[in-house]
């Protein structure tokens, strides 16, 4: 049966509208996996030596255990934004004699063979081999390694629950924030009563010193597997998959938007979509966290001598909604995109409405970032320059990226159980690179030549120049959307 499922998955991928683009991206991802995998193997091979040199007073295995918590926290956050969630078109399978438990086991099994679960192996297998060569107890090392593998799968199944349950996500996010905050306060000597790395290190050191404790992470991983299985099993019903939940919707007076003329219809539609649906609300809520991104860099004195990082942070402060909402244009309209494209409406107005919405969000974020003046007018000027770049350049790059993104978005939360709406989209990553690297380059080159003010002015002027060529950019982007319109309709129609 597993072979049948794999065959169906391959046929679905091969026959999809984005097959050629998918092949190119998967090849690129394979090269990326080989690169990071090779780097991880080298890190694992030399980790013992690195720890011995930097912490000569401590046993390397003890040092590694003290800092394992930060690896697992990074792993969990990285998984949430990047890992592909279990996805399969299960509706046709519900009416044929295949046990639903078999299908669910296959879905969860797909996540277990993910690259995100193999990456820790590339680090800890070489590290464990070095430990054995150095004369450490084989039983302790092998069972400690199995405990690390089990914890990796704990994170895997926790991430699946976090992607499908807002409650789990907020709990996990709160725990990460508390642990990171306590460690930051200790490092900066605000108080010395609690150091996360040492307390958590005691737990991981116990896994090494008392090998029988390996049963705890193994049992925990099995329990989380059961929770995921139970979650999917209770929602594996045909009527639950195709039924629409009817609920009363409150109307809001948006007549004040009529001043925008032909754009008003699209703007009202987007505002109602964000107001009435959980997924857009989540994106709006999460984009607010970007406002605090600058704090990470501005409070650290060492970054004052690295203005490139400060420019990078300044872009993110006002780009929350732009990045999170804008990268999913036109996917937000995927559920009714076919109907929308059958109307006698100008595509240019549709794109302009999305652009104005992103620009408005950047402007509001800039106003909300005013407290950053506390860190100095130079920091605030960098944020202002970053806002200019986001409005004049990044907004158009984001719109262009939407033309290459044909992954549908399910606006209702129930669709998350068997359709991937939050998984990693490689196209978004490729489009994100120029949005993040280009402003740093525009800032840094003038900075090296003429100083900080030159870098800030260059970054701000780049946004002004982008606005001057607004009509040109929108025309070119419209042509790209028009050219791929029917492929987009076909891709959205597959789900």
pLDDT of residue 480: 86
Q: pLDDT tens digit string along 122-177? A: 889 999 999 999 989 999 999 999 999 999 999 888 888 877 666 666 676 777 77
pLDDT of residue 93: 66
pLDDT of residue 423: 39
Phi, psi of 172 (to 5 degrees): -60, -45
* CA-based nearest residue to 124, from 46, 179, 211, 44: 44
Q: pLDDT tens digit string along 219-253? A: 999 999 999 888 888 877 655 544 455 555 555 65
CA 321/CA 364 separation, integer angstroms: 10
Burial of 221 (0-12, 13-18, 19+ CB in 10 A): buried
What is the helix (H) or strand (E) element at residue 130, kind and residue range? Answer: helix 115-133
CA 362/CA 373 separation, integer angstroms: 18
State the helix-helix crossing angle for 60-82 and 138-164, rounded to 10 degrees.
20
Burial annotation 430-460 (CB, 10 A radius, 16+ → b, else e): ebeeebeebbbebbbebbeeeebeebbebbb
* Cα distances (Å, whole numbers) of residue 211 to 143, 197, 208, 257: 6, 21, 6, 66
* Cα distances (Å, whole numbers) of residue 15 to 8, 9, 124, 490: 11, 10, 39, 11
β strands within 325-476, DSSP E: none
Q: Which residues of the chain have pLDDT under 70?
A: 1-2, 5-6, 8-26, 28-29, 81-95, 164-170, 172, 180-197, 237-260, 262, 302-304, 412-431, 493-495
User: Are 287 and 325 a contacting pair, CB within 8 Å?
Assistant: yes
Contacts of 302 (CB under 8 A, 6+ apart): none
Residue 97 CB neighbours (<10 A)? 5
pLDDT of residue 414: 40
Tokens representing 490 are 């076909």
Q: Where are the alpha helices (DSSP H) in 253-394?
A: 264-276, 278-287, 293-298, 307-317, 320-326, 337-341, 347-368, 377-389
Tokens representing 339 are 């109907």
pLDDT of residue 254: 66
CA 433/CA 26 separation, integer angstroms: 17
pLDDT of residue 288: 79
* CA-based nearest residue to 170, from 323, 286, 75: 286
* CA-based nearest residue to 464, from 382, 360, 364, 389: 389
CA 202/CA 220 separation, integer angstroms: 19
pLDDT of residue 189: 57
Tokens representing 90 are 């299960």
Tokens representing 59 are 């046993």
CA 317/CA 387 separation, integer angstroms: 8
pLDDT of residue 415: 37
pLDDT of residue 223: 95
Q: How many residues does the chain have?
A: 495
pLDDT of residue 77: 75
CA 265/CA 305 separation, integer angstroms: 48
pLDDT of residue 421: 39
Q: How many helices and strands (H and E) does the chain possess?
A: 23, 0
């Amino acid at each position: 049966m597993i072979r049948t499922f794999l065959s169906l998955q391959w046929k679905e991928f091969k026959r999809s509208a984005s097959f050629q683009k998918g092949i190119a991206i998967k090849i690129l991802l394979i090269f990326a996996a080989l690169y990071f995998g090779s780097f991880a193997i080298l890190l694992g091979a030399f980790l013992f030596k690195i720890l011995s040199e930097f912490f000569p007073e401590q046993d390397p295995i003890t040092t590694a255990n003290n800092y394992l918590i930060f690896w697992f926290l990074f792993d969990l956050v990285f998984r949430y934004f990047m890992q592909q969630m279990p996805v399969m078109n299960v509706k046709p399978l519900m009416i044929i004699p295949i046990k639903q438990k078999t299908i669910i086991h296959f879905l969860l099994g797909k996540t277990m063979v993910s690259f995100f679960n193999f990456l820790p192996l590339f680090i800890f297998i070489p590290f464990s081999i070095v430990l054995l060569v150095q004369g450490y107890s084989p039983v302790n090392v092998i069972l400690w390694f199995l405990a690390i593998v089990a914890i990796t799968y704990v994170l895997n199944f926790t991430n699946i629950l976090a992607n499908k349950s807002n409650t789990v996500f907020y709990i996990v996010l709160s725990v990460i924030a508390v642990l990171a905050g306590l460690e930051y306060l200790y490092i900066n000597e605000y108080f010395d009563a609690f150091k996360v790395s040492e307390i958590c290190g005691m737990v991981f050191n116990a896994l090494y010193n008392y090998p029988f404790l390996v049963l705890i992470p193994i049992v925990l991983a099995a329990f989380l597997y059961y929770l995921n299985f139970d979650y999917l099993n209770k929602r594996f019903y045909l009527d639950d998959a195709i039924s629409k939940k009817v609920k009363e919707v409150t109307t809001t007076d948006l007549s004040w938007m009529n001043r925008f003329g032909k754009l008003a219809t699209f703007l009202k539609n987007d505002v109602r979509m964000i107001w009435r649906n959980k997924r857009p609300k989540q994106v709006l809520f999460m984009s607010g966290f970007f406002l605090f991104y600058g704090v990470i860099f501005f409070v650290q004195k060492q970054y004052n001598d690295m203005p490139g990082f400060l420019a990078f942070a300044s872009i993110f402060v006002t780009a929350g909604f732009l990045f999170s909402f804008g990268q999913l244009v036109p996917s937000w309209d995927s559920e009714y995109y076919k109907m929308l494209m059958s109307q006698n409406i100008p595509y240019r107005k549709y794109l302009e409405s999305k652009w104005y919405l992103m620009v408005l969000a950047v402007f509001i974020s800039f106003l909300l970032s005013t407290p950053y003046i506390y860190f100095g007018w130079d920091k605030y000027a960098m944020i202002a320059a970053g806002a200019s770049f986001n409005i004049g350049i990044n907004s158009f790059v984001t719109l262009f990226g939407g033309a290459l993104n044909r992954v549908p978005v399910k606006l209702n939360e129930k669709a998350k159980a068997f359709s991937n709406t939050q998984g990693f989209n490689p196209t978004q990553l490729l489009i994100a690179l120029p949005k993040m690297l280009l402003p740093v380059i525009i800032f840094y080159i003038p900075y090296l030549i003429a100083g900080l003010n030159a870098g800030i002015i260059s970054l701000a002027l780049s946004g002004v120049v982008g606005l001057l060529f607004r009509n040109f950019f929108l025309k070119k982007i419209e042509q790209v959307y028009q050219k791929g319109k029917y492929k987009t309709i076909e891709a959205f129609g597959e789900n």
